[in-house]
Homo-oligomer: A and B are copies of this chain.
């Protein structure tokens, strides 16, 4: 099937904006000694309390990769491991206060860093863009895997 021009142009735009956003995230992360993945982990764990393997699956990483990742974040006091009460094999990852503070700061920096870009649109266009992006985004999560402990 021949891809029509609108698709071609859209994909190009999406890919370029992805690289641009990633570059911002990478830079801001680096300024706080955090990799892109660490950044992402913080963002996820911020309002969830997933088990290691759920987190790995969500990130699309191997469980063993996650072990090291959490190790380092734990050593820095940003995250903590907790034994799951329901399943003694499982380990639950949760964010510490320090981690939450840092994440909050990071979010603000990201917003500021992207402001020049988003600022080139007026409020109505921004709303429209966000609205058009919505359908493109995959279903964020198959619902809450469990109404987990809400903080």
Most buried by B among A20, A21, A22, A114: A21
- Whether A117 is near chain B, meaning CB under 8 Å from some CB there, is yes
Q: In the complex, what residues of B have CB within 8 A of residue A7's CB?
A: 111, 115, 118, 123, 126
A142 close to chain B: CB less than 8 A: no
Give A residues with C-beta under 8 Å from B.
3-4, 6-23, 25-27, 40, 60, 110-111, 114-115, 117-118, 120-121, 123-130, 132-138, 140
Most chain-B CB neighbours within 10 Å: which of A17, A125, A127, A133? A133
Contacts of A9 in B (CB 8 A): 126-127, 130
- In the assembled complex, the Cα of A4 lies from the Cα of B111 at a distance in Å of 11
Say what secondary structure dominates the interface of chain A: helix
Decide if A129 touches B17 in the complex (CB within 8 Å): no
Of all chain B residues, the one with the shortest Cβ separation from A126 is B6
Which B residues are CB-close (under 8 A) to A125? 132
**Which listed residue, B16, B22, B115, B129, touches A140 by the CB 8 Å rule?**
B16
Question: Which of B27, B121, B140 makes the CB contact (< 8 A) with A132?
Answer: B121
- When chains A and B are docked, how far (Å) is the Cα of A130 from the Cα of B50? 35
**Residue from B11, B17, B120 within 8 A of A111 (CB atoms):** B11
Identity of the chain B residue whose Cβ is nearest the Cβ of A122 in the assembled complex: B6
